[in-house]
Structure 1
């Protein structure tokens, strides 16, 4: 039997296996607009809708659960969830998680600052002595998370982080550019908080599933169908609905390469 036919047959058996057990694939995620969020009780977002379309084409029913990110990771570790949406790849998770070859989206971590208290920077050295708001359970770039130059202070939600920044309880906060811009509008903070142009790191977001029987074949099919869908006009329309690509900017220059002002740092980090 040709390899393609074998993969199709195996993927079909995975789908039938879920149906036979009257089970849905259990996917957990954290609200992360505009990629995935809830609106009037209904899931929305670029990555959610893309994933839902791909699973529909594969004949897989999904049970979605929105939780704080640390809880999502705990459910994966405990086997209470089959997969997570919008997770970064990390070598440490390869032993327990499977990732498709095709990512769902790209994120750019940047800093946001209060207009009344700007803190311009080009390197991590420029953040010395500051307090940076972070999100619990998120794994940022290695340089950022291991630096002793500044303090990292987690907040329970992204909204809480922006509230702390507006009230002067932190000096800066780090989050994805598009997520931050979405929150500035939803929290009516656009006149108080701005985005720094320096990109701390860039990462790909994936749907990842636990290493269970048959999941490797499901991941292969998911990646292939996702890649196919992203070439269709429907995906272009979906992407446009959730905002255009970010504008060009400067990228963080590591302290050890400070003199190389044009070097673009591509770091390995995981959510």
Structure 2
């Protein structure tokens, strides 16, 4: 059998394992609006809907489970999940996960402050001695994650972090810009909390699958179909619905946009009221 024919046959059999054979792909993720939103029995969100659209086009059934992020990672390691939504590509997970070439979205990690207790931020040195609210298991940037200049204090949810911020239990918190803006609106904190303008880091988010037989071909097909979908008007409509923003424009490399040390500042990114 020619090499190309063997590849096509293998890809077809890989898809059969999840469709014709009646099996489903088990995907885990943590709710964080607007990328993944869980409201009772209703699930929506930008990345959630994109992923469902792509898998539907590939003929793959998906079973979703929404749990805290550290549990998502544990389920992947223990083989209780086939994949995870909205994860970063890092070297520590190369032996466990496969990533498509096309990301779903891009995270913009920024800091939020209480208007009653402002803390200007231009470099990591400006955070010296402060307590920063974080989310368990999240990766922000190597410099931020390992810095000994400040204390990182986890909270069980984004809403809990904002509650600690306005009560003065933490000095600042870090989260995605869009997630933070929507959380502020949901909690009615628009007059009490504000976003600092500098971006700590920018990172693409992916749908990643465990390294099992046939998964490499499925990841390739997912990435190719996702890239096609992003060229369609439906993608722009999803972006506008969930973020209130137009399609992102190309930017310089994340290394030039991130805080990589106490001497390196980052590009300003104006917040938008969502």
How does the TM-score come out when normalised to structure 2? 0.89
CA shift in 2, pair 1:4/1:41, >3 Å: farther
Deviation at 1:39, TM superposition (A): 2.6
Gaps of 5+ in 1: 266-271
Deviates more, 1:172-181 or 1:33-42: 33-42
Structure 2 equivalent of residue 178 of structure 1? 178
The within-5 A match list for 1:145-224 is 145-224=145-224
Structure 1 equivalent of residue 127 of structure 2? 127
Deviation at 1:135, TM superposition (A): 0.4
CA contact (8 A) 2:199 2:259 kept: no
**Distance (Å, rounded) in 1 between the aligned partners of 2:166 and 2:38:** 25
Structure 2 equivalent of residue 92 of structure 1? 92
- The yes-or-no answer on 1:257 pairing with 2:263 is yes
CA shift in 2, pair 1:165/1:47, >3 Å: same
**Distance (Å, rounded) in 1 between the aligned partners of 2:9 and 2:185:** 47
Deviation at 1:92, TM superposition (A): 1.0
- The yes-or-no answer on 1:111 pairing with 2:111 is yes
CA shift in 2, pair 1:68/1:147, >3 Å: same
Structure 1 equivalent of residue 39 of structure 2? 39
Aligned length: 261
**Distance (Å, rounded) in 2 between the aligned partners of 1:130 and 1:172:** 8
Deviation at 1:40, TM superposition (A): 3.7
**Distance (Å, rounded) in 1 between the aligned partners of 2:237 and 2:3:** 34
CA contact (8 A) 1:253 1:264 kept: no
CA shift in 2, pair 1:45/1:123, >3 Å: same
Deviation at 1:68, TM superposition (A): 0.2
Deviation at 1:134, TM superposition (A): 0.4
**Distance (Å, rounded) in 1 between the aligned partners of 2:99 and 2:239:** 22
Structure 1 equivalent of residue 28 of structure 2? 28
Q: Secondary structure at the match of 1:80?
A: coil
Gaps of 5+ in 2: 269-274
**Distance (Å, rounded) in 2 between the aligned partners of 1:238 and 1:7:** 34
